[in-house]
């Protein structure tokens, strides 16, 4: 039984009656744990079912016995927007304020975005002055791309690739050197496949409405995201806005967010079952039965926080149309290598660098972890590779040694680090990031509409649908919980 509600200003309506119902949350990643947290105290029983032996999904930190920390998945959270504020407010309500480590916009790792072109690192323009100067690898000042947008005719459409949209509006070089690497640094994906309406909806909307992105952004200011005033009640959110934080993390690593959520959920009476893979879901009257190897659990509602491809197989017997729509969301695999060296070996302070897909390089990018969050006299780098190109570069099942060699060679060639790493960890994250390809939003809308029409008490949350980051995953879980209540 859930014991009490501890979510304070996390919900807009302060008092909600306790609903006598059982809710199953599928998946014990951050969105599943967040969904359970937002439900707790408001419904009778919440059961989280996690297939693996650990909670947290792709959020995974290794803390070495000497205190050195490696992140294998995400490492920072964005502050901007309501979704950013929501996670900060959640961290505060979980008592994590003292463990938050912030990175302001003025920090070199927030200011300096680098790309690797022709084997050399190039800093992307980050000020008015650099936007009006010709900066390699661009052949003209970036500010001139604004003129391209003001002159180019709009092409009316419902969706197109991010790459083609940006090339049309701002020119080939912006698409090639800014957007293509960005798509790799958020989706490990190919900007030529990813959907503009899913990833830059507002830019697309204002172009379609006003004929130009820049004119549209100015004319359409009133339709920009309205700040959620509830978030102003959070001291941590206020501090982050006042001190102009760009991103943040937690002392000891992001896994602490998951561990704290887990602990709070357990204290609040949420039933959490690990090693409990969901095999199927069947309808029984107005209720649903969740099938696992060990039991059949009858529930009033399911919030699925499973990746769409996993949910697709789970509900293939429940409804084939929804299952097919979910299966249309592709996932890609990323090779991740953490390397640790003695001394300070990175000369150019930055978050890291990204490699555009036009480069003959199997690496997607390198993160300079210790530039953002120093760890004594050490250099820690995370090299990420594969993504959309994983299979064509590495085949079906490359050895860890191949992945490690690729990482070590990359830092040797690009950063001139010739010494052997003191420590390293190699991970191959299979199907770790969903790809919001052209048509994604429509497929998700159709899947949700079908569930509603079929009166299936099943909500879709997690990072497969409305945003790939942790903030999006958490807010999607909150929304699913709110809609249920
Ligand atoms: C390399 C990498 C770097 C990233 N960097 C960032 C970053 O810097 N900032 C950021 O905001 N985000 C980042 N992300 C994205 C972030 O990790 C995700 O948004 C977030 O972890 C998604 O959480 P989730 O709970 O929705 O899904 P998941 O983490 O995928 O959790 C789903 C859970 O469901 C379980 N499961 C699957 N099938 C079943 C089944 N049949 N039955 C029961 N359980 C099942 C899985 O074991 C898993 O625990 C990154 C992701 C990757 C891969
Ligand atoms: C500079 C190097 C980076 C590499 C390499 C990189 C790899 C990488 N990232 C993801 C998924 C996400 N990254 C996110 C945020 C994010 N990533 C980088 C840089 C690199 N990522 C930065 C600087 C940021 C912060 C972005 C900002 O707005 O300042 C996110 C969250 C995005 C969000 O909207 O919240 C995700 C998701 C993968 C899969 C990956 C593997 C190659």
Q: Is pLDDT at 5 greater than 60 in this prediction?
A: no
CA–CA gap between residue 170 and residue 238 (Å, rounded): 35
Give the position, in ligand 2's atom list, of the atom nearest the Cα of 353: 1
Polymer length of the chain: 485
For 27-68, list the strands marked E by DSSP.
43-49, 61-63
Q: Tell me what pLDDT residue 6 has.
A: 41
Cα 54 to averaged position of ligand 1 atoms, centre (Å): 12
Give the position, in ligand 1's atom list, of the atom nearest the Cα of 384: 1
Domains of the chain: 19-57+252-329+437-484 (3.50.50.60), 124-223 (1.10.3110.10)
Q: 435-457: per-residue pLDDT in tens?
A: 999 999 999 999 999 999 999 99
Q: Is pLDDT at 10 greater than 70 in this prediction?
A: no
Cα 182 to averaged position of ligand 2 atoms, centre (Å): 8
Residues 301-324, mean pLDDT to the nearest whole number: 97
| Residue with CA at minimum distance from ligand 2 atom 14 | 186
Cα 345 to averaged position of ligand 1 atoms, centre (Å): 31
> DSSP string of 269-305?
T-EEESS--EEEEEEETTEEEEEESS-EEEESEEEE-
| Residue with CA at minimum distance from ligand 2 atom 20 | 185
Which residues lie across from 334 on neighbouring strands?
386, 429
Is residue 478 classed as helix, strand or coil in its secondary structure?
helix
| Residue with CA at minimum distance from ligand 1 atom 13 | 74
Ligand at minimal distance from the CA of 371 is 2
Q: What is the bridge-based pairing of β-strands 301-304 and 331-342?
A: unpaired
Residues 229-253, mean pLDDT to the nearest whole number: 96
Cα 106 to averaged position of ligand 2 atoms, centre (Å): 18
Exposed e or buried b for every residue in 75-94, given b needs 16+ CB within 10 A?
A: bbbbbeebbbbbbbbbbbbb
Joined tokens for residue 40:
């707790």
Q: Which residues line ligand 2 (CB under 6 A)?
A: 76, 78, 184-186, 188, 246-247, 334, 351-354, 364-367, 384, 387, 433, 468-469, 471
Q: 146-161: per-residue pLDDT in tens?
A: 999 999 998 999 999 9
Residues 315-339, mean pLDDT to the nearest whole number: 97
| Residue with CA at minimum distance from ligand 1 atom 39 | 51
Asked whether the bond before 17 is cis by omega within 30 degrees of 0, the reply is: no
Ligand at minimal distance from the CA of 188 is 2
Give the position, in ligand 2's atom list, of the atom nearest the Cα of 386: 42
| Residue with CA at minimum distance from ligand 2 atom 23 | 351
Q: 179-204: per-residue pLDDT in tens?
A: 999 999 999 999 999 999 999 999 99
Which residues lie across from 161 on neighbouring strands?
195
Q: Tell me what pLDDT residue 1 has.
A: 58
- Residue 269 CB–ligand 1 contact under 6 Å: no
Phi, psi of 429 (to 5 degrees): -90, 100
Cα 186 to averaged position of ligand 2 atoms, centre (Å): 4
Residues 389-405, mean pLDDT to the nearest whole number: 97
- Residue 307 CB–ligand 1 contact under 6 Å: yes
Q: Tell me what pLDDT residue 17 has.
A: 74
**Residue where the block lists tokens 């199997």:** 362
């Amino acid at each position: 039984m859930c014991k009490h509600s501890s979510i304070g200003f996390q919900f807009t309506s302060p008092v909600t009656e306790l609903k006598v119902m059982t809710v199953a949350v599928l998946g014990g990643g951050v969105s599943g744990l967040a969904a359970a947290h937002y439900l707790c105290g408001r419904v009778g029983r919440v059961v989280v079912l996690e297939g693996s032996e650990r909670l947290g999904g792709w959020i995974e930190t290794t803390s070495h016995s000497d205190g050195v920390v490696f992140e294998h998945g995400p490492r920072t959270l964005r502050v901007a927007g309501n979704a950013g504020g929501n996670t900060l407010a959640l961290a505060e309500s979980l008592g994590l304020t003292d463990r938050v480590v912030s990175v302001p916009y003025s920090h070199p790792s927030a200011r300096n975005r680098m790309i690797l072109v022709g084997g050399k690192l190039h800093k992307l323009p980050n000020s008015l002055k650099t936007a009006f100067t010709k900066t390699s690898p661009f052949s003209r000042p970036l500010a001139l791309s604004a003129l391209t947008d003001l002159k180019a005719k709009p092409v009316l459409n419902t969706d197109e690739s991010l790459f083609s949209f940006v090339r049309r509006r701002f020119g080939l070089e912006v698409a090639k050197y800014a957007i293509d690497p960005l798509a790799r640094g958020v989706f490990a994906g190919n900007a030529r496949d990813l959907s503009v309406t899913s990833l830059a909806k507002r830019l697309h909307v204002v172009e379609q409405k006003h004929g130009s992105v820049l004119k549209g952004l100015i004319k359409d200011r009133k339709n920009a995201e309205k700040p959620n005033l509830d978030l102003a009640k959070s001291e941590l959110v206020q501090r982050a806005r006042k001190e102009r934080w760009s991103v943040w993390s937690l002392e000891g690593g992001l896994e602490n967010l998951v561990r704290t959520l887990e602990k709070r959920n357990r204290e609040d009476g949420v039933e959490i079952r690990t090693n409990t893979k969901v095999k199927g879901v069947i309808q029984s009257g107005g209720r649903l039965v969740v099938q696992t190897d060990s039991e059949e659990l009858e529930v009033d509602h399911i919030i699925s926080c499973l990746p769409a491809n996993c949910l697709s197989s789970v509900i293939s017997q429940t409804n084939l149309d929804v299952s097919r729509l979910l299966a249309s969301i592709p996932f890609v695999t990323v090779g991740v290598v953490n390397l640790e060296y003695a001394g300070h070996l990175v000369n150019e302070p930055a978050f890291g660098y990204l490699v555009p897909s036009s480069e003959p390089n199997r690496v997607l990018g390198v993160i300079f972890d210790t530039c953002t969050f120093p760890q004594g006299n050490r250099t820690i780098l995370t090299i990420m590779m594969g993504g959309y190109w994983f299979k064509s570069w590495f085949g079906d099942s490359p050895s860890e040694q191949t992945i490690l060699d690729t990482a070590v060679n990359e830092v040797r060639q690009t950063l001139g680090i010739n010494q052997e790493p003191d420590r390293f960890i190699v991970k191959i994250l299979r199907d770790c990031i969903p790809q919001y390809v052209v048509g994604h939003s429509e497929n998700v809308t159709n899947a949700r509409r079908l569930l509603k029409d079929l009166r299936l008490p099943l909500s879709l949350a997690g990072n497969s649908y409305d945003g790939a980051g942790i903030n999006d995953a958490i807010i999607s879980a909150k929304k699913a919980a709110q809609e249920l209540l």
